[in-house]
Amino acid sequence: MALVDSPYRILYRDVDQMGVLYYSRYLDLFEMGRTEWARAQGFSYRDMEEVLGLMLPVTEASCRYLSGLRFDEIAIVRTGIAAWSRLTIRYHFEVFEEQSQRLCATGEVELACLTRDGEKPHPLPDSFVQILGTIAADKKGRKRN
């Protein structure tokens, strides 16, 4: 499961005075997308934090705005993995308006794995690396066909 689509209905609180989704809310959509992506793979950020004592703070974020989303439209956040290393993971996002399938934004977010105190880099949990390895192997397999 390399890509996961997550729906979100744009609420009145999400829009600016012009009636379009406020620019910073796209980062909220990205956060929802990466959390749902991990959940769809059988991985829980909550367990990683509470059980393993590891955190994944954002180290870099980018968003390219292409078309505005409006109140009561449904955004589809398509989330996948752009790259990963033993210490970091980079997610890629595409945000569509559900009915028209209009591409509204693209972006990426990189996270680093740290100990709970935020002081020391730590390798990504083995269970998460196994998920990433399976996805990478699946992508290679599809390319050969």
pLDDT higher than 90, residue 8 = yes
Q: Are strands 74-84 and 4-9 parallel, antiparallel or unpaired?
A: antiparallel
**pLDDT of 91-115, one tens digit each?**
999 999 999 999 999 999 999 999 9
Mean pLDDT of the chain: 90
pLDDT higher than 60, residue 89 = yes
pLDDT higher than 70, residue 6 = yes
**What is the average per-residue pLDDT within 5-34?**
97
pLDDT higher than 70, residue 15 = yes
Sign of CA dihedral 35, 112, 107, 78: negative
Phi, psi of 106 (to 5 degrees): -130, 155
b or e along 37-74 (b: 16 or more beta carbons within 10 Å of the residue's beta carbon)?
Answer: bbeebebeeeebeeebebbbeeeeeebeeeebbeeebe
Residue in 97, 105, 92 with CA at minimum distance from that of residue 75: 97
Quickly state the pLDDT bin for 55 (edges 50, 70, 90): very high
Max avg pLDDT among 1-5, 18-22, 123-127: 18-22
Instruction: Spell out the domain ranges in the chain.
Output: 4-144
| 4-144 has CATH 3.90.470.20 classification | no
- pTM equals 0.89
pLDDT of residue 66: 98
pLDDT of residue 48: 86
pLDDT of residue 137: 59
